[in-house]
């Protein structure tokens, strides 16, 4: 049995829904799990856990500042075992070439921030999950005016993104949690 933290920063509820799905999956495995908002977590709390799932809404093409602050405060050499997740209102990276380009420009910084913390040897990154989430009205306005100004394209996009995270996204979040737990077990069996 692992001691696990699922910490998240959410403003519109999308990341919180994803965090809840991850939490539910980890609990179903019989682990001791805590679900907390990032405001209730400090970097000093993290060593208490065998594994940390850290989630964020995408802000300005990167993780939200409170999540970045936690990542940057993790001491060099801590080897914290962490899995990252984020929600964004961009087209999916798996889409056509244009969607991939838009995702790279507006949401890929989330994964890069987790990878940079790993490369700086502040943590052991066991996985990353990203999914779409409905945007706040101000972010919708930004996307429409800056990224997707064509009205037909915008209407098609916004009617779809407002549905997320949907049941498929939450199922995928649970599968992500299970894959992280499996990876943790295979890489740390007998060492903890």
Q: For the domain that residue 41 is a member of, what is the CATH number? A: 3.40.50.360
Hunting for tokens 């700086």 — which residue is that? Answer: 120
Summarised one tens digit per residue, pLDDT across range 70-111 is: 999 999 988 899 999 999 988 777 778 888 888 788 888 899
Closest C-alpha among 108, 111, 57, 50 to residue 87:
57
**Residue 52: pLDDT band by 50, 70, 90 thresholds?**
very high
Q: Tell me the pLDDT of the chain averaged across its residues.
A: 91
Give domain status of residue 145, yes or no.
Answer: no
Q: What total of structural domains would you count in the chain?
A: 1
Q: Return the pLDDT at 162.
A: 92
The pLDDT tens digits of the residues spanning 169-180 come to 999 999 999 999
The two structure tokens encoding residue 33: 């799990």
Supply the range of the domain harboring residue 129. Answer: 3-136+165-188
Look at residue 144 and tell me if it is in a domain. no
pLDDT at position 192 over 60: no
Global confidence as pTM: 0.91
Q: CB neighbours (10 Å) of residue 54?
A: 27
| 148 part of a folded domain | no
pLDDT beyond 60 at 191:
no
Please tell me the distance from the alpha carbon of residue 35 to that of residue 146, in angstroms, as a whole number. Answer: 35
């Amino acid at each position: 049995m692992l001691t696990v933290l699922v910490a998240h920063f959410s403003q519109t509820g999308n990341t919180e829904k994803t965090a809840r799905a991850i939490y539910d999956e980890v609990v179903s495995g019989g682990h001791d799990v805590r679900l907390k908002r990032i405001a209730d977590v400090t970097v000093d709390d993290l060593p208490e856990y065998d594994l940390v799932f850290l989630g964020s809404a995408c802000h300005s093409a990167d993780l939200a500042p409170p999540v970045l602050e936690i990542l940057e405060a993790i001491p060099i050499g801590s080897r914290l075992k962490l899995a990252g997740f984020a929600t964004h209102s961009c087209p999916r990276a798996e889409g056509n070439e244009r969607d991939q380009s838009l995702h790279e420009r507006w949401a890929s910084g989330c994964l890069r921030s987790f990878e940079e913390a790993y490369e700086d040897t502040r943590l052991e990154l066991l996985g990353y999950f990203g999914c779409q989430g409905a945007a706040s009205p101000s972010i919708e306005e930004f996307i429409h005016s800056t990224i997707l100004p064509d009205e037909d394209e915008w209407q098609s996009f916004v009617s779809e993104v407002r549905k997320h995270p949907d049941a498929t996204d939450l199922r995928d979040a649970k599968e992500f949690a299970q894959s992280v737990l499996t990876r943790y077990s295979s890489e740390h069996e007998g060492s903890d």
